[in-house]
Each structure stands twice: as C-alpha cells, then as structure tokens.
Amino acid sequence: MRIAFRFKPVPFVATLVLVILGIALGRWQDRRAEEKMAVAAELAGGSTAAPLVLGAQSIEPQHAQFRRVTATGTFVPDWPVYLDNRPHDGRAGFYVLMPFRIDGTAMHVLVARGWLPRDVADRQRIAPYPTPQGTITITGVAKPGAGHVMELGDAPPVQAGAIVQNADAAKVAAASGLQLQPFVLEQTSADGSERVLLRDWPKPDLGVDKHRGYAFQWYALALTALLFFIISGLNIGKSSGTKTDQ
C-alpha cells in the first residue's frame, strides 16, 4: 500500500485561517473564564472579610467591590428611585434605591433596599413600604451597580420617586446633588421593612462554564479543520509488484 499526500494551496490557506481563528477565540474564552473565576474568588473573599465601615471619605469602587460594608446614619426618604423590570419568582416588581446619609458627614451611600412587587392594576403606583426613622446601622455588599436591563427609546430622567429602567450612584448624585459613594450598597440587614421589601438578592451568574464550553467548541473547530485537511489530502493506493518465476 502506497500513501501519498497531495498538497493544495487553497485548502491549506483556508485550514490555516480556521486553525488560527479557532485557537485565538478559544484562548479568549479561556481568559474570560479566568476573569470570571477571579471575580468569584473576590466575592468569596469579600463575604468572609471584616466589614468595611463607611465614613466621610469616598472609597474607590475597586477597593469596596463585593466586600461587606456597614454604615450608620439615616435614610433620605424623599429621594427614592425605583428600578423597573426586576422580576422575582415570576412576579413583576421594582428594586427600591434610596440614599443613606452617613452619620456626622455629608457623604451618602445609595442603598438597594429590596424588591417591591408592582401593582398589577396601575404600574405607576408604588405600594407603601416602611422606612426606618432616625439613626440606624445597616450592612450589605458593595456592588458596582444594581444591575442593568435593556431599555428602548429615550430613558426618563432620574429624579425623586422616578420609575426608571437603570440608575446608578453617579446618576442619582448628579440629579439629587447629594454626595454619594461611587457604588451601591445591596442591603442584607434587617431594618423592620423586610416583610415588605424582599432582600433575596439573586446570586451573580458569572458564566464560567459557558465560557469553557465556548472555548471547547473553538478548539474543536480548529482540530476538525486540521484533520479534514490532512485526511482529504491523503492519496492511498495499492503498490504494484512483480512476480518472479520459480
């Protein structure tokens, strides 16, 4: 049996492009998975570390991100903001955001107080919920924001009592004139409102397995292209031989 390989320039170039593309995209997905694993480690570390006590000084987001934080002060009840399209267990509702003034300072932190169901008859109506009066201490987790949802058309302005799709500390600070820490405190502590404002916060889906699956698919594409080029180029034939007379 004789095995020969027929080299064809055009299939070779196409195969080379697919192999390079598959490996490059596979490595990119691997890096994305590593980044998500680093975030998961940051979350785990932040949940076990001592709480960060908020005061008058602004804290850089990267120093507070995913850490447990605590603050003593008072809520600013006349500046709530409601984030729409935040379902919970299949029910439509809002996230309630409210500034919290840190005691003895002009600094505030924007607190995600919890989830509130939407009125099915009138989506503009906000059901009543209690807000603690006076000085209290709250704890929670510092997050870059309260989540982002897709919105169509022009976004309504952020203002006191507004129902909006998205808002963050920077937008609320600009609209209210309040000095705010550059992150959101996702409240986990009880303050007497937890029977109305649910704090069953969703855990972040980091998608590590998704990125690993995508990486496997890209590597498989590169390998398949290479094998196809090799197999399609093989020319297998019978070798000819001569008989000798006895």
User: What is the chain's pLDDT, residue by residue, as a tens digit (246 residues)?
Assistant: 676 778 788 888 899 999 999 999 999 998 888 877 777 666 666 556 678 999 999 999 888 888 899 999 999 999 999 999 999 998 999 999 999 999 999 999 999 999 999 988 888 899 999 999 999 999 999 998 888 887 777 778 999 999 999 999 999 999 999 999 999 999 999 999 999 999 988 776 556 778 888 889 999 999 999 988 888 877 665 555 545 444
In the chain, domain spans: 2-38+207-237, 51-187
Numbers of helices and strands, H then E, in the chain: 4, 10
**Cα–Cα distance measured from residue 97 to residue 143, given in angstroms and rounded to the nearest whole number:** 13
The closest of 32, 84, 22 to 223, measured between CA atoms, is 22
Give dist(CA 151, CA 157) in Å, integer. 13
Phi and psi torsions of 27, nearest 5°: -65, -35
> Among residues 51, 48, 41, 34, which one has the least CA distance to residue 142?
51
SS3 content of the chain, % helix, strand, coil (to 5): 30, 25, 40
Distances (CA, A) of 134 to 3, 67, 131: 88, 26, 10
d(CA 68, CA 145): 15
